[in-house]
Structure 1
């Protein structure tokens, strides 16, 4: 499945989430998507883009670890059939995908802060770690966007 469709599906599911469990599960799905998209871009020819992409993948994986994978019986996984990110097959417009992923990760951070405000201590610390990883993921996304812009501007000159 194309990356934009996966990002849009994840953002829509996060927006519809009403329970703490659903929000955490969708945050997990978004971070899994960041991990996979980072891996997708890690094969890039540009060393800077590769470095940022590997960092994106690592931060997404760390956030997934902080949030722990939702139980297989969770409604989010039932609706999607599995981990949405595992369905990634292509990235048609890298800049558009990275911009949308950056927005999604920002939404995830906000949602996790809201969850942390009402969570017990264990979930609170999971959310704090996941917010930190989401921020790092966004930084990596924007680093990749800067690199794409630099190469595009350099190629046009």
Structure 2
């Protein structure tokens, strides 16, 4: 399945989640998806994104690592369903939105948490989601700079 559809499915699932365990499962799913997208971009994305994409992979992996691993059937793991990145810009725009929603959901869980362990998991996961989103925004900036440079080169070709 393409990245944009998986991100949309994650956003819907996160919005529908109600209880803390369900929300934490959706947060974990979103971080795993961000990790998979980062990995794909690092391997086959535009060359100017590869370093930041590796960073996204690491940060999203940290976001998964600070949370308790949910018991999810492999068939339900959205990251495992990723087959195509599609348009990098669209994927990154949507992923940035998802990561922002993850942060908001985690703030809600942290405020409602009855135990210190859940609270601190949320704090660390908020940090990872925020840093992951920063990487996404940097990749979007690099794509815009690339497009701007290509536009200048097309308008003003080098003398030959």
- The Cα shift of 1:36 comes to 0.4
Counterpart residue number, 1:113:
107
User: Deviations 1:119-152 (Å, cap 9, x if unpaired)?
Assistant: 1100111110000000000000001001111111
The change in CA–CA distance for 1:139 and 1:156 in structure 2 (over 3 A counts) is same
Counterpart residue number, 1:50:
50
Counterpart residue number, 2:155:
none
Q: How does 1:49-68 map to 2 (within 5 A)?
A: 49-68=49-68
Give the gaps of 5 or more residues in structure 1: none
Cα distance between partner residues in 2 of 1:108 and 1:96: 18
- The Cα shift of 1:45 comes to 5.0
Cα distance between partner residues in 1 of 2:94 and 2:86: 13
Q: Report the TM-score when normalising by structure 2.
A: 0.90
1:82 aligns with 2:76: yes
User: Which structure has the bigger radius of gyration?
Assistant: 2
Counterpart residue number, 2:31:
31
Counterpart residue number, 2:69:
69
- The Cα shift of 1:82 comes to 2.7
Cα distance between partner residues in 2 of 1:143 and 1:30: 19
Structure 1 vs Structure 2 CA RMSD: 1.3
Q: Report the TM-score when normalising by structure 1.
A: 0.91
Cα distance between partner residues in 2 of 1:11 and 1:118: 21
Cα distance between partner residues in 2 of 1:32 and 1:45: 21
The alignment partner of 2:66 has SS state of helix
Cα distance between partner residues in 2 of 1:84 and 1:45: 23
Cα distance between partner residues in 1 of 2:61 and 2:15: 22
Which residue of 87, 95, 98 maps to 1:101? 95
Cα distance between partner residues in 2 of 1:65 and 1:150: 33
Give the gaps of 5 or more residues in structure 2: 153-160
